[in-house]
Amino acid sequence: MAAPVALHLEFGGGAELLFSGQKEHHVTLPSQSEPWDMKQLLVWIQRNLLKERPELFVQGDSVRPGILVLINDADWELMGKLDYQLQDKDNVVFISTLHGG
């Protein structure tokens, strides 16, 4: 069994508006047989934090185009993306890209 994982989730660039405007969330993923990865985290977020309009946040099994995912202040592309195995106390940020000027 993998132990529970405590995470610091952040939403910004407008993505927080899908979570009642709350930018920071401290969450604990329950213990499960397999280690938690990003793919499972997205499903967990959909079920537990995101109540309405999931299409504004996810598309297929990933985030929708225009949202940048950062794991511990690095682009998730550098960290294995959906396959990244989450560690206790990881910081995961979802940033919606801004276009205004």
Partner 1 sequence: MAQEVCSLKAQLEEREKEISALKNKLAQLEKKGHGSELKLQNKVEPLSPLSGKPALSNQDIMRYSRQLLLPELGVKGQLNLSKTSVLVVGCGGLGCPLAQYLAAAGIGRLGLLDYDEVELSNLHRQVLHGEENQGQAKALSAAESVQRLNSTVECIPYHLQLTPENALQLIQQYDIVADCSDNVPTRYLVNDACVLSGTPLVSASALRMEGQLTVYNYKGGPCYRCLYPVPPPPETVTNCSDGGVLGVVPGLMGCFQALEVIKIASGQGSSCSQQLLMLDAQDLRFRSIRLRPKQAGCAVCGENPSVTRLIDYEAFCGSAAADKCRKLHLLSNNQRITVQEYKSIVDNSSPHILLDVRPLVEVEICNLPFSLNIPLSSLEDRRSEDIQLLQERVSQLKQQMAGDSQPAVYVLCKQGNDSQKAVQVLEKMSGSEVDSIAVKDICGGLVAWAMKIDPTFPQY
For 26, left (φ over 0), alpha (ψ -120 to 50), or beta? Answer: beta
Which residues, at least 6 apart from 21, have a Cβ–Cβ distance to it below 8 Å? none
Q: Is 12 in the site for partner 1 (CB under 8 A)?
A: yes
State the binding string over 41-80 for partner 1 (x if CB under 8 A, else -). ----------xxx-xx-------xxxxx-x--xxx-xx--
Q: Min. distance of Cβ 81 from partner 1 in angstroms?
A: 10
Smaller CB distance to partner 1: residue 29 or 93?
93
